[in-house]
Structure 1
């Protein structure tokens, strides 16, 4: 059984499934929920950060506030299982920051939601789960949608 589980979490149904899985299977482990602020994939990011002073910092503050809301939802899910979670926020690419936080925190398992796709789509479209599975030096458990 892992001692410390990390879950990249952005509030999606798949992230909820990954969290529920971790809480049900690893209730006695330390569980950390990670939100990564990634300007490359976040729909609220601006194309021109230099348009006015402080725009980047304002956006980061807004995203950290968003993370607080997501963490409240994650804590409610964990409470259903009688599990306490820890939370963390990082800024950068999701897969890279997930691996960096896993290393920094001494995590020994990553649990992530994953879409099932055809082999052709898997070849063409990179995603966080696939990147983690490919690059992680520790085990990664992928949790898929129902019916896949």
Structure 2
């Protein structure tokens, strides 16, 4: 039986769909919605930090506020399913932080949204989902 589900969440429609699926399928388990602040992938990040004092800290505070907005959305989705969730966030490379969170939270299942491709490329995953499927020490359910 699955006791703790980790749901990587970035506010995209696919991450919302993954959370809804986790609530439907694993609603009696602990569900942690997890957001990663990744300056390598975030389009709001500056190309070079350090040009202005405090620039990194200001950006990071902005991303923390963004995470709280995302968590508000996640709580609404969970509430719609009658499920209570917990939230967590980390700063770093997305795949690495998610895999680290599996250990930190004691998750025994990951549910992640993935980008489906049409026709012959139908089974091609997004890079994060693909990395999780390959490297995760626990089962990964992909939702599209």
TM-score (norm 2): 0.94
What does 1:55-134 correspond to in 2, within 5 Å?
A: 55-117=55-117, 118-119=120-121, 122=124, 127-134=127-134
Compute the displacement of 1:121 (Å): 9.0
TM-score (norm 1): 0.91
Compute the displacement of 1:56 (Å): 0.7
List per-residue Cα deviations over 1:4-34 (Å, max 9, x = no partner).
0000000000000000000000110000000
Alpha-carbon distance between aligned partners in 2 of 1:54 and 1:35, rounded to the nearest angstrom: 23
Aligned residues: 142
Name the SS of the counterpart of 2:107 in structure 1: coil
Structure 2 gaps of 5+ residues are none
RMSD: 1.6
What does 1:21-60 correspond to in 2, within 5 Å?
A: 21-60=21-60
Query: What is aligned with 1:19?
Result: 19
Compute the displacement of 1:105 (Å): 1.0
